[in-house]
């Protein structure tokens, strides 16, 4: 039987390079990248993937020009407002992980509304990592455990997971990165210890259903031993 990854995570890279190659401003690449998000969400659900996590804005992305950062947040706001009903109608459960409280108030409210609307859906679990960093998640988890007075003696890998942003998010099976880069970039560090990596030269705005299926097919060829023989 064909092995389908339960949890697929994607580092959506190459929006700016896509735009620059076409002589367009970088923000045009971000806008075009939304189409790829729509395609991947649909094909992931159709393929039988249970969890899809998309790296939408990292804690390091604040280093970008303020105009670009503001545009990204504005694009998130308008896209979520436009798409949340369709996501809900397609039984998709949407969640957000990261330091959400540092985001603009309007975006926080839209995020809250989207999560609330789709909370009881039972289809694809779609997670957006926004203002997210893997190290930051681990630090925040430690702080949370301390603030709740959790006993260090009782802390292990299973109990520690409960303090992560989304405890029910399973470990990553397949990590996809577009645009030719081959690094994790502080994404889902805790959850990716045994992830299979798939790198492609395709820029994110050009990432198609065919590209996604290629990644899934490659995953099915991997032999996962998890440290065993």
Contact between residue 49 and residue 124 where contact means Cβ atoms under 8 Å apart: yes
Query: Which residue shows structure tokens 């023989």?
Result: 229
What strand order describes the sheet that includes 125-132?
A: 93-97, 125-132, 51-58, 7-11, 174-177, 196-199
Q: Is 61 a catalytic residue?
A: yes
For residue 80, give every residue at least 6 positions away whose Cβ sits within 8 Å of its Cβ, in sequence order, or none.
110, 111, 114
DSSP 124: -
For residue 175, give every residue at least 6 positions away whose Cβ sits within 8 Å of its Cβ, in sequence order, or none.
8, 9, 10, 11, 184, 187, 188, 192, 195, 196, 197, 198
Q: Which of 41, 10, 14 is nearest to 29 (CA)?
A: 14
Which residues are the active-site residues? 13, 61
């Amino acid at each position: 039987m064909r092995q389908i990854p339960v949890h697929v995570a994607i580092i959506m890279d190459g929006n700016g390079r896509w735009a620059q190659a076409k002589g367009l401003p970088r923000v045009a690449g971000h806008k075009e990248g939304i189409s790829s998000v729509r395609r991947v969400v649909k094909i992931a659900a159709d393929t039988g993937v249970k969890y899809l996590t998309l790296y939408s804005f990292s804690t390091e992305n604040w280093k970008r020009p303020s105009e670009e950062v503001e545009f990204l947040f504005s694009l998130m706001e308008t896209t979520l407002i436009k798409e949340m009903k369709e996501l809900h109608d397609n039984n998709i459960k949407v969640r957000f992980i990261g330091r959400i409280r540092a985001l603009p108030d309007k975006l926080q409210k839209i995020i809250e509304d989207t999560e609330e609307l789709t909370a009881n859906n039972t289809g694809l679990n779609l997670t957006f990592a926004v203002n997210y960093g893997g190290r930051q998640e681990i630090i925040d988890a430690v702080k949370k455990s301390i603030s709740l007075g959790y006993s260090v003696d009782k802390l292990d890998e299973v109990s520690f997971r409960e303090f992560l942003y989304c405890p029910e998010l399973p470990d990553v099976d397949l990590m996809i990165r577009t645009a030719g880069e081959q690094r994790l970039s502080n994404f889902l560090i805790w959850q990716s210890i045994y992830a299979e990596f798939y790198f492609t030269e395709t820029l994110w705005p050009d990432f198609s259903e065919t590209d996604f299926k290629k990644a899934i097919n490659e995953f099915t060829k991997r032999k996962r031993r998890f440290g065993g023989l």
